[in-house]
Amino acid sequence: MPEHAPLGVAVIGTGRMGADHVRRIQEVISGARVTAVVDVDAERAEAVAARAGGCAVHTDPAKAMASADVDAVLVASPGPAHEAALMAAFAHDLPVLCEKPLTPDAASALRLVEAEQALGRRRVQVGFMRRYDPEYARLKALLETGRLGRPLMLHNRHRNVASPDFFTSEMLITDSVAHEVDVTRWLLGHEITAVTVHRPAPSAGAPEGLADPQFVVLETAGGALSDVEIFVNCGFGYQVQAEVVCEGGTARIGDAHDLVTAAAGRWGGSIAQDWTERFADAYDREVQAWVDATRRGEVTGPGSWDGYAAAAVCEAGTRALREGGRVTVELAERPALYG
Ligand code: NAD
Ligand code: ISE
Domain ranges of the chain: 7-129+281-302, 131-278+310-338
Residue 37 has pLDDT above 90, yes or no: yes
The arithmetic mean of pLDDT across residues 61-78, rounded, is 97
- Residue 35 CB less than 6 A away from ligand 1: no
The arithmetic mean of pLDDT across residues 179-204, rounded, is 98
| pLDDT of amino acid 118 | 96
Residue 209 has pLDDT above 90, yes or no: yes
Residue 60 has pLDDT above 90, yes or no: yes
| pLDDT of amino acid 3 | 65
How far apart are alpha carbons 241 and 222 in whole angstroms? 22
- If one residue of 20, 171, 179, 278 were mutated to test the ligand 2 pocket, choosing by the most ligand atoms within 8 A of its CB, it would be 179
The arithmetic mean of pLDDT across residues 132-146, rounded, is 98
**261-296 residue pLDDT tens:** 999 999 999 999 999 999 999 999 999 999 999 999
Q: Given this chain, do its domains 7-129+281-302 and 131-278+310-338 carry the same CATH topology? A: no
The arithmetic mean of pLDDT across residues 19-38, rounded, is 98
| Sheet bearing 151-159, strands edge to edge | 249-253, 239-246, 151-159, 225-231, 214-220, 192-198, 326-328
Q: Give me the phi and psi of 284, to 5 degrees please.
A: -60, -45
**221-267 residue pLDDT tens:** 999 999 999 999 999 999 999 999 999 999 999 987 678 899 999 99
**Ligand sitting nearest the alpha carbon of 99:** 1
- Residue 57 CB less than 6 A away from ligand 1: no
| pLDDT of amino acid 54 | 84
- Residue 62 CB less than 6 A away from ligand 1: no
The CATH number of 7-129+281-302 is: 3.40.50.720
| pLDDT of amino acid 2 | 62
The arithmetic mean of pLDDT across residues 68-92, rounded, is 97
How far apart are alpha carbons 180 and 226 in whole angstroms? 9
- Residue 13 CB less than 6 A away from ligand 1: yes
Residue 4 has pLDDT above 80, yes or no: no
| pLDDT of amino acid 5 | 87
- Ligand 2 atom nearest to 240, measured from its CA: 8
How far apart are alpha carbons 115 and 92 in whole angstroms? 13
What is the percentage of the chain residues whose pLDDT exceeds 70? 99
User: What is the CATH superfamily name and number for domain 131-278+310-338?
Assistant: Dihydrodipicolinate Reductase; domain 2 (3.30.360.10)
The arithmetic mean of pLDDT across residues 192-200, rounded, is 98
Candidates 233, 214, 220, 219; CA nearest to 318 is 214
